[in-house]
């Protein structure tokens, strides 16, 4: 694959190589693409979380939420029962 980069990007890559951060343009571009893949993964996760938050907010609006104190008390009771069962 042949790539044509803007002169400022070529200069940036050369600066990074001269600074010792990368040993070749291929290595620098590979690092950039790895960052792009990571960003895309984070973007997908953020979208999924926003959707889940929207669902949870709608559930709360319908009165389907749980009382936090009751949940904590229930978890503590389960933990205590598990300790006693040992």
For the chain of 86 residues, list the mean pLDDT of each consecutive stretch of 10.
94 98 97 98 98 96 92 96 91
Q: Are 17 and 28 within 8 A, CB to CB?
A: yes
Q: Is pTM beyond 0.85 here? A: no
Of 4, 24, 2, 1, nearest in space to 14 by CA: 24
Kindly tell me the sign of the dihedral angle through the C-alpha atoms of 76, 67, 49, 51: positive
Q: How far is CA 75 from CA 19, 56, 64, 69, 78, in A?
A: 54, 21, 19, 10, 5
**What is residue 1's predicted lDDT score, i.e. its pLDDT?**
85
Secondary element (H or E) of residue 45: helix 25-61
């Amino acid at each position: 694959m042949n790539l044509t980069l803007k002169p400022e990007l070529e200069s940036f890559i050369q600066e990074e190589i001269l600074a010792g951060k990368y040993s070749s343009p291929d290595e620098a571009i590979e690092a950039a693409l790895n960052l792009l893949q990571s960003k895309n993964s984070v973007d997908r996760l953020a979208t999924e979380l926003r959707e889940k938050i929207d669902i949870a907010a709608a559930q709360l609006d319908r009165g389907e939420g749980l009382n936090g104190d009751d949940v904590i008390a229930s978890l503590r009771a389960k933990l205590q029962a598990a300790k006693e069962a040992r």
